[in-house]
Each structure stands twice: as C-alpha cells, then as structure tokens.
Amino acid sequence: MNHITTPQDPARDEGLSRRTVLMALAGGVALTGATTAWGPGLPAASAATLRNGRWCNPARGRLSSAYGWRTLNGKTTWHAGWDIANSTGTAVYAAAAGTVVRRGWNVVTGRTGNGLVVSHGGGVYSYYGHLNTFRVSNGASVSAGQRIADMGATGNVTGPHLHFEVQIGSIGDDVNPRTHLTNRGAVIGGGWPTLDPEARGQRVKAMQYLLRQRGRSITVDGYHGPKSTATLAAWQKAVGLVGDGQAGPKTWPVLDYVLRKGHGGDHVRALQTVLNKHGAGLSVDGAFGSVTDSAVRTYQSVNRLVIDGEAGGVTWQALTS
C-alpha cells in the first residue's frame, strides 16, 4: 500500500523491473548482460537474491481469507492480511528475525484480539492476530522460525486462525503478505521454500548437509554462495533436475530423506538443523536417537501433522517452509 524503500531488504513487491533497478543500485550490478558471480550457465535472473532465506511461513494451515477487499454479511471491508486457519494451539512462528515491539489486546488500530508486532528493521513489521497464547515478551529478540505464540480465536472472529500481516513504512501500513513472502522464497500456510544463490541461514545449512549425504563435497556454512550453488547445480543435473542452483519445490523432495529413529548421518544433521530453526535446541550430532525423535513428535504435534516420529515429505516441507 506504499512504496517506501527499505535499506535492509531491497526486495520489493512492485514488479521485477523496479526490483532489478533497486538491486542494481544496492549491489552495483549491471542492468543488462550481467555476469553472475557464480559463473556461466546459471541464470542472471536469480542474481538478486530475492528469495534470500530470511523469511519463513508463520503458521501451518489452510488459507481461509485473502488480502484485499472482502464482503462479509453484506458489508465490504478491507482485509489487511491473510488468514491461516488451523486449530487453537497451533504453533505461530516469527516470519523473520526481529524484535517484539507490541504485545497485547487490540495493539494495532482496526485489528482485534491478542496481537503481536515484530519489527524487522528498516520500517518492516509483521503482525500476528487473534492469538491464544503469547510465547515471547514485549521487547524480546526473536529469530526467524522461533515460536512466538499459539493460534487462537480472540477478538472478532468466527473460528481459530492466524491473521498475518506484513507492514512496511509504519505499523499498520499493510502490504500483501503472501506476495511479500513468495518474493522471498517462503510459502504462506506451508510449502517448499525457494532459496536462490546468495541465500543464507539454517535452511541453506540443511540443504548443504543433505548434499553431503548425497555424496557431494561441500562446506556446511549456511551460505549459498558460488561454490554451494555450483555443487547444488551439479547434483541437480546428475539427478535429472534443472541445474539452476536454486533450492525450490522441485529440488527439496528429491534432496531430502525419509528419516526415523536409528538413522545416522548428515541427513539427520540436516533434520536437526531445521528442527533447531523452530526452537528444538538439539545438538547437531547426526544421530537420530530418542531426543531427536521426541523433537520431531513435538514439532508434528504443534503443527497438527501426523505424529509418528518419522520425518517424511510433509514434515520436511513444514520444517523448511
């Protein structure tokens, strides 16, 4: 709803041309015929690291109401966020790292019930509404993927859901949060993430561990730089995927493993890494023992997945989204 440039995160939602210009300004990239740092054969379009791994899905559930104008009971109103429906008590995670700046009842004008506002710096905020339980205090520093609240049905609602907003400029200046997340590689409600070259973070680390388990020589440092990108691209080609060095919805399901108690190796380290992103606090030792089993079951429980202690496709998707 506004067009303020945020210096910390130049990825914008107005369209590729504007984004390309902004990225060029930010990074000194030539606008045409750009040569990518990771060598020939990889598309320059992904050079801008829009899908940077910094944002993640705030809650798992069904998208029940869209951002924009909507008519309820004959009355047309502006809906400032997306609704993610699931049962009361479903985990709500910080969509990006930041600081809790508001916590309480009706904390933003026009929004009802228990709400949280997280400031991500540069005038970017996320809002979490209709919460049942707070799991962080006002002023707390939070990491992306940290559990900050439980889904609920407080305020003016018809059932339990998370009302999620992204606000840019000032608190209350909503933008389409689905577009905002999509442009940064995250899928609102849950889905495989997309990490571009230059992405950083725990999911990159997990991807690198998985590549190592697949027999590739790679440093696990959480940075999807030129070497990491080239290693992923080579593996993608070897298994018949497009070798673009981008970890997206076609790559993750082939890259991950179905894991359960008794397994050991770098694939388990990958799993422990993404569990830790959501606060499991595991030692990343590659051993799928009782502690990791318990962490998987807890995660499955709070995300309303089948609780079987097995990390299969659905659990991996939820953990990495």
Instruction: Report the interface residues with Zn ion, using CB under 5 A.
Output: 83, 163
Q: Between residues 38 and 93, which has the closer beta carbon with respect to Zn ion?
A: 93
Q: Between residues 18 and 70, which has the closer beta carbon with respect to Zn ion?
A: 70
C-alpha count within 13 angstroms, C-beta hemisphere, residue 210? 26
Residues 6+ apart with CB under 8 A from 161: 61, 64, 65, 83, 84, 85, 86, 130, 151, 153
Please state whether beta strands 82-85 and 161-168 pair in parallel, antiparallel, or not at all (unpaired). Answer: antiparallel
CB of 111 to Zn ion, least distance (A): 8
- Give the residue among 136, 58, 43, 47 at the shortest CA–CA distance from 94: 58
Residue reference for tokens 């429980």: 301
CB 16 within 8 A of CB 132: no
| Amino acid type, 227 | K
Q: Between residues 163 and 269, which has the closer beta carbon with respect to Zn ion?
A: 163
- State CA 185 to chain mean position distance: 7
- Give the residue among 288, 254, 78, 300 at the shortest CA–CA distance from 172: 78
| Amino acid type, 217 | S
CB of 81 to Zn ion, least distance (A): 5
Residue 251 is classified by DSSP as T
Q: Between residues 112 and 298, which has the closer beta carbon with respect to Zn ion?
A: 112
Distance CA 123, CA 10 (A): 12
Q: Between residues 163 and 224, which has the closer beta carbon with respect to Zn ion?
A: 163
Q: Between residues 99 and 112, which has the closer beta carbon with respect to Zn ion?
A: 112
Q: What sign does the CA torsion over 266, 271, 274, 279 have?
A: negative
CB of 162 to Zn ion, least distance (A): 8
Residue reference for tokens 């949060």: 177
Beta bridge partners of 69: 78
CB 98 within 8 A of CB 119: yes
Distance CA 233, CA 251 (A): 10
